Amino acid sequence: VSRLRRWYGAGPLHALATVVAALVSGYALTRFGTDAPWVDLGLWFVGSVVLHDLVLAPLYALADRSLLAVLRHRRPATGAAAPAVPVVNHLRVPALLSGLLLLLWAPLVLRLTEGYEPITGEPVEVYLPRWLGISAVLFAGSAVVYALRLRRAARRRRS
Amino acid sequence: MVRRTVRGLTAWAGDHPPPGPFRRTWWRSPLRGPWLTAVLGSVLLVGIPVVIVTGLVSYLAYEPELPGNDKTPGKGLLGFYLAGWTTEPRWLYRLTQGVHVLLGLALVPVVLAKLWSVLPRLFVWPPVRSPAQLVERLTLLLLVGGILFEIVTGVTNIQNWYVWGFSFYTAHLYGGWVMIGAFAAHVAVKLPVMLRTLRARPLRAELRTDLAHTEPEPPDEDGLAPVAPGPPTISRRGALAVVGGGSLLVLATSVGQSIDPLRWTALMAPRGRTGDGGPNDFPVNKTAEYRGITADQVAAGVWRLELVDGDQRVELSRDELLAMEQHTYELPISCVEGWSTSQTWTGVRLRDLARLVGVPDPGPARVTSLQQGGAFGAASFSADQVLNPASLLALRVNGADLSLDHGFPARVIVPAAPGVYCTKWVGQVDFRLGASA
């Protein structure tokens, strides 16, 4: 058993769990009922993983690194001292939240969904201004909090 | 000899990863580590089963076991728990489906954060060290692919953006089962690790740690924590607050779709309407125009309700229906898309209609719409549903005639039934379903 375990690389519970998973998942795939369920569902599965892991994640990581680089290099150029409160999260947080809403509701915001208006009888054009409005409130709110924190830091330094 | 060569090569490859993300020094974030992953995992460990169970409940509520209702004839063992749906409590489907969609939406930022926290694992080098790791990576493909697939199909479906080449109903169901299998395996394998990690680092202490005191987690054997961390720019509690804030923001801008007085707050959710405030001002699933219903078809003198029991047929005009005993109930109508609304419906009891066509003790019945196309132009109900006193062929809502979009001249409303079964523009009710089945 210990040789088997060394060859496999994990314990029997691990093997049992993955076998059960494979059985349930494989059975569901065969039940899908299209001619080529492996292709129909498999493409979407792999496609969504690739889209997330190799497109979306690198994009937001790149955006974040760029933001950090810009903030770092701007300082010597303007000759200013490091701000008492770092600004980075006051940009990151509203950008992330606004991006999250866009990611979820892009079909409505960007009017990709042609079906929405004829199906529901409701206007789709309200969603872009609503998303912009919520984003504006998020950024403005973040700026106000930043200003308050700066003032508090300045007061603390004076006293 | 061969085995030694293979082992030697594997060891050599392990020490010589290709550049970029395959090197552990590539991953700089000081927040990544087993603890953060375990915290996010514990949230999903509670949340995802709730979404799974409410989803499976929705399949149950569609009563695929009744003749004519089944969109998934190949379900096989996956229909093991189908045993009919209830009519009480009347808000049951409103609750389960509202939770399914709203919690599913709110978990999206948690899923994204969890995937971010384990991203270095995708590029682990060498890609396969043991058979156990190979099968685990394959189940992870099913798990991550399955969760993303369920999110994408769900989120696009509620926005009526039908981009896939197959039926949402079947794809979301079978895709869900693929995910369930992989999710169960992942929990079985990782639960001990998660609990051990959470115990080693108390949550309360971490929530008291500000940016100045945020330290990277020590490098771990799974390779989640960075070996060459950059300086922290946000505390761990700050990062968790952003994720939780994302969930709250998504909830705050959608929850109004399920709570009538808060409907105006559903700024981003579909059907977050604020209309004229009239008796027919509540969300429409499919408009009359979309379903090819014209005013001529349902005009007085043209439209007739047909009641069928085998060879027995009775036809009624809308005036004749209005002359029957009318009943009024406040009942929710709850869409599989998550939105719901409670309205006051007035009409004729389904069981009274059965009596008219000579069926004093009705079994299951099938209601058919005049609509063109669509997968849900007809729905079958169980005897329990037909007999419920609040199951109506509604003619009026909130004291006014139904609007054409809400199913004029007559629509079905059955307590706790999925909204799409509350068939609009009813043309026929067949009470012989039980006998023919």
A121 in reach of chain B (CB within 8 A): yes
Q: What is the DSSP string of A79-116?
A: TPPPPSS--HHHHHHHHHHHHHHHHHHHHHHTT--TTH
Q: What CA–CA distance (Å, rounded) separates A152 from A144?
A: 12
Interface test with A, best of B26, B178, B271, B285 (most A CBs within 10 A): B178
- For B407, the token pair is 């199913």
Structure-token match 């609990």, residue found = B195
- Tell me what pLDDT residue B163 has: 86
Asked if A137 has any chain B CB less than 8 Å from its own CB, the reply is no
Q: What is the pLDDT of residue A84?
A: 78
B94: which 2 tokens?
């409103």
* Per-residue pLDDT tens over the stretch B77-127: 999 999 999 999 999 999 999 999 999 999 999 999 999 999 999 999 888
**With a cut of 0.85, is the ipTM above it?**
yes
Give me the residues paired with residue B314 across strands.
B307
Contact A116 B141 (CB under 8 A): no
Write down the pLDDT at residue B337.
Answer: 96
Residue B399 has pLDDT above 80, yes or no: yes
Searching chain B, which residue's CA lies closest to the CA of residue A89?
A: B234
Residue B436: predicted pLDDT:
44
Q: In Å, how far is B287's CA from the nearest CA of chain A?
A: 6
pLDDT digits (tens, 9 = 90+) for B170-225: 999 999 999 999 999 999 999 999 999 999 999 999 999 999 999 999 999 889 99
What average pLDDT does chain A have? 90
| Highest mean predicted confidence (pLDDT) among B16-20, B35-39, B299-303 | B35-39
- Token pair, residue B270, equals 């579909």
CB-nearest to A28 from B78, B132, B287 is: B78
* Helix B34-61 / helix B236-252 crossing angle, nearest 10 deg: 20
Residue A157 burial class via C-beta count within 10 angstroms: exposed 0-12, middle 13-18, buried 19 and up: exposed
Which site among B32, B147, B156, B174 would you substitute to test the A interface, given the most A Cβ atoms closer than 10 Å to its Cβ?
Answer: B174
Q: Who contacts B12 (Cβ-Cβ below 8 Å, separation ≥6)?
A: none
Backbone dihedral region of B373: left (phi > 0), alpha (psi from -120 to 50 degrees) or beta? left
Spell out the residues 6+ positions from residue B149 whose beta carbon is closer than 8 angstroms to its own: A41, A44, A45, A48, B171, B175, B178, B179
Closest CA to B237 of B47, B35, B45, B44: B35
On chain B, the residues whose CB falls within 8 A of the CB of A45 are 141-142, 145-146, 148-149, 175, 178
**Predicted local distance difference test score (pLDDT) of residue A1:** 72
Q: Nearest CA to CA, how far is A40 from chain B (Å)? A: 8
pLDDT band at A80 (very low <50, low <70, confident <90, very high): low
pLDDT score for B13 = 81
What pLDDT does residue B6 have? 76
CA distance A103 to chain B (A): 10
Residue in A18, A86, A89 closest to B136 by CB: A18
Which residue from A minimizes the CA distance to B117? A57
CB B306 within 8 A of CB B430: no
Reported as a pLDDT band with limits 50, 70 and 90, residue B266 is: very high
**Disruptive mutation site among B187, B189, B250, B273 for chain A (greatest number of A CBs within 10 Å):** B189
pLDDT at B274: 62
B71 contacts on A by Cβ (under 8 Å):
none
Q: Answer whether the bond into residue A123 is a cis peptide, omega within 30°.
A: no
Looking at beta carbons, which residues of chain A come within 8 Å of B165? 40
Q: Which long-range contacts (CB under 8 A, 24 or more apart) does B287-291 make?
A: B287/A118, B287/A119, B287/A120, B287/A121, B287/B405, B288/B404, B288/B405, B288/B424, B288/B425, B289/A118, B289/A121, B290/A118, B290/A119, B290/A121, B291/B369, B291/B371, B291/B372, B291/B373, B291/B374, B291/B424, B291/B425
The pLDDT assigned to B275 comes to: 73
Between B242 and B10, whose confidence is greater? B242
Which residue from B minimizes the CA distance to A86? Answer: B233
The predicted model scores a pTM of 0.95
Q: Which chain B residue is nearest to residue A41, measuring alpha carbons? A: B175
Distance of CA B61 to the CA centre of its chain: 13
Name the phi and psi angles at B337, rounded to 5: -75, -5
CA atoms within 13 A on the CB side of A147: 6
Which of residues 46 through 105 in chain A touch B, CB cutoff 8 A? 46, 48-49, 51-53, 57, 68, 86, 88-89, 92-93, 96-97, 100-101, 103-105
Nearest Cα neighbor of B414 from B305, B332, B343 is B332
Closest CA to B211 of A89, A150, A153, A144: A89
Contacts of A119 in chain B (CB under 8 A): 160, 285-287, 290
Residue B356 CA from chain centroid, whole number:
39
Mean pLDDT on B372-385 = 92
- CA-nearest residue to B121 within chain A is A53
The whole-angstrom distance between residue B136's C-alpha and the CA centroid of its chain comes to: 27
H helix runs in B361-436, sequence order: 383-387, 433-436
Count interface pairs A-B at CB distance under 8 A. Answer: 220
- Cα dihedral B99, B102, B108, B109 sign: negative
Chain B residues whose beta carbon lies within 8 Å of the beta carbon of residue A130: 267-268
Confidence of residue B437 (pLDDT cuts 50, 70, 90): very low
HSE-CB at A70 with a 13 A cutoff on CA atoms is 9
* pLDDT tens digits for range A22-67: 899 989 988 887 666 677 778 888 999 999 999 999 999 999 999 9
The answer to whether A107 contacts chain B (CB < 8 Å) is yes
B190 touches chain A (CB under 8 A): no
Does the beta-carbon distance from B181 to A24 stay under 8 Å?
yes
Tell the residue number behind the tokens 């959470």, with chain if given.
B198
How high is the pLDDT of residue B8? 82
pLDDT of residue A158: 81
CB contacts under 8 A, A 9-38 vs B, are 9-10, 13-18, 20-29, 31-34, 37
